[in-house]
């Protein structure tokens, strides 16, 4: 492996001190124009790359933000990252993207690594496995700004950006009821993850407020945080299970678009018409929602706005004096995007069809 060029190599080649080379690179006024030019020319020739970690240790600022996501191959997280980068790059910050793969141990190792390289802040969404959040206190205790988004954990004293998942679910189920659905199934996520608990509560309250009894047989829990293909298969299996009972739904509200895609596939295989016999709504408004047939109604969480807000919260905190900043909680209202899978004016059609 070729040895990396150092400041000492540049200094030796020019016959000057290391401090002279360093000052030349930083455009110090006491270094002559000729010396600066000689240093810059040799730096280019020898392909010298500055040691950013060493620079951060000296200056106390790295201009790097660590972003921890459960996985980087989901549209949701990719869009949030774009939103963060759009805000912070204007202030000279770069992002290091790390994925926890939903593992607590890996999440902890990432935090240690980011703190070791002196990042200026950490923006994170908590891993599926994580149920104890005390490890995030390590970031706060080192006076490093910490912003949590989407999956924010419990009892962490820091700024957060979340979507109003309760409202998203409530609006989705209310829409299904308005279309004539009376037996609405819910494909829910893991109960220890707050976003899924909030969506379940929105589902339950929408039924209650419209005076529709809750049927526990129509509520199915699944691990909705996995590979999209696995979630799709789970959606197929859960939907098939629903239609093997005496409590067959006329509406399905899924906490995942991919599970809803599975529901559509399962219903098509049974020749059940969507939305005339069963209406379906998913969650997250994945780009595939608009191109699947029928188009999937879904709750849009405004992920880019979520990223923008997380980036803004970081800048607010990093530009405040220690002890003066007050943590903020940003809640973004989602929007129900209505497509053919739950299209309006189906009440008469639904009444006319019997299975």
Q: Is the pLDDT at 29 greater than 90, yes or no?
A: no
How many secondary structure helices (H) and strands (E) does the chain include? 13, 12
pTM of the predicted structure, to 2 decimals: 0.81
Binning pLDDT at 50, 70 and 90, where does residue 46 land?
A: confident
Binning pLDDT at 50, 70 and 90, where does residue 355 land?
A: very low
Average pLDDT over residues 41-56: 72
| pLDDT for the residue numbered 51 | 63
CA-nearest of 95, 98, 94, 108 to 70 is 98
DSSP line for 214-275: --GGGEEE---SS-HHHHHHHHHHHHHHHTTSS---SEEEES-HHHHHHHHHHHHHTT--TT
| CATH number, domain 7-50, options 1.10.1040.10, 1.10.260.40, 3.50.50.60, 1.10.10.10 | 1.10.260.40
106 and 49 Cβ atoms separated by less than 8 Å: no
* CATH number for the domain running over 165-301+337-352: 3.40.50.2300
- Burial-class residue 34 by CB neighbours within 10 Å (0-12, 13-18, 19+): exposed
Q: Are strands 121-124 and 64-69 parallel, antiparallel or unpaired?
A: parallel
Preceding omega of 294 cis (within 30 degrees of 0): yes
Expressed in percent and rounded to 5, the helix, strand and coil fractions of the chain are 45, 15, 40
Q: Is the pLDDT at 346 greater than 50, yes or no?
A: no
Q: Is the pLDDT at 249 greater than 50, yes or no?
A: yes
Asked whether this chain's domains 7-50 and 62-162+303-330 adopt the same fold, the reply is: no
Is 62-162+303-330 assigned to CATH 3.40.50.2300?
yes
Kindly state the tokens that stand for 287: 């780009």
Average pLDDT over residues 274-285: 96
Q: Where are the domains of the chain?
A: 7-50, 62-162+303-330, 165-301+337-352
Among 49-53, 127-131, 140-144, name the one with the lowest average pLDDT.
49-53
63 and 94 Cβ atoms separated by less than 8 Å: yes
């Amino acid at each position: 492996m070729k040895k990396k060029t150092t400041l000492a190599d540049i200094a030796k080649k020019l016959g000057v001190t290391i401090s002279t080379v360093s000052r030349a690179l930083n455009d110090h006024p006491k270094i002559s124009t000729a010396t600066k030019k000689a240093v810059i020319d040799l730096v280019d020739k020898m392909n010298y790359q500055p040691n950013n970690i060493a620079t951060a240790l000296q200056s106390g600022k790295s201009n790097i933000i660590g972003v921890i996501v459960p996985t980087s191959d989901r549209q949701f997280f990719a869009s949030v990252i774009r939103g963060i980068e759009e805000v912070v790059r204007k202030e000279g910050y770069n992002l290091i993207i790390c994925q926890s793969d939903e593992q607590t141990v890996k999440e902890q190792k990432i935090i240690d690594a980011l703190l070791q390289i002196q990042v200026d802040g950490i923006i994170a969404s908590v891993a599926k496995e994580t149920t104890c959040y005390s490890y995030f206190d390590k970031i706060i205790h080192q006076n490093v700004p910490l912003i949590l988004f989407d999956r924010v954990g419990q009892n962490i004293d820091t700024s957060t950006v979340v979507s109003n998942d309760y409202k998203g679910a409530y609006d989705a189920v209310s829409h299904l009821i308005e279309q004539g659905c009376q037996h609405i199934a819910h494909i829910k996520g893991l109960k220890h993850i707050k976003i899924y608990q909030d969506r379940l509560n929105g589902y339950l309250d929408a039924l209650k407020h419209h005076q529709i009894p809750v049927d526990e047989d129509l509520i199915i829990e699944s691990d909705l945080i996995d590979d999209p293909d696995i979630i799709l298969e789970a959606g197929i299996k859960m939907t098939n299970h629903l239609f093997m009972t005496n409590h067959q739904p006329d509406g399905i509200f899924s906490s995942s678009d991919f599970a809803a895609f599975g529901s559509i596939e399962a219903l098509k295989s049974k020749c059940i018409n969507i939305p005339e016999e069963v209406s379906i709504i998913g969650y997250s408004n994945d780009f595939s929602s608009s191109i699947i047939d029928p188009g999937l109604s879904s709750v849009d969480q405004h992920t880019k706005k979520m990223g923008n807000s997380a980036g803004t919260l970081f800048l607010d905190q990093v530009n405040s004096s220690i002890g003066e900043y007050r943590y903020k909680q940003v809640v973004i209202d989602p929007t129900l995007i209505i497509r053919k899978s739950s299209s309006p004016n189906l009440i008469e059609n639904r009444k006319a069809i019997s299975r």
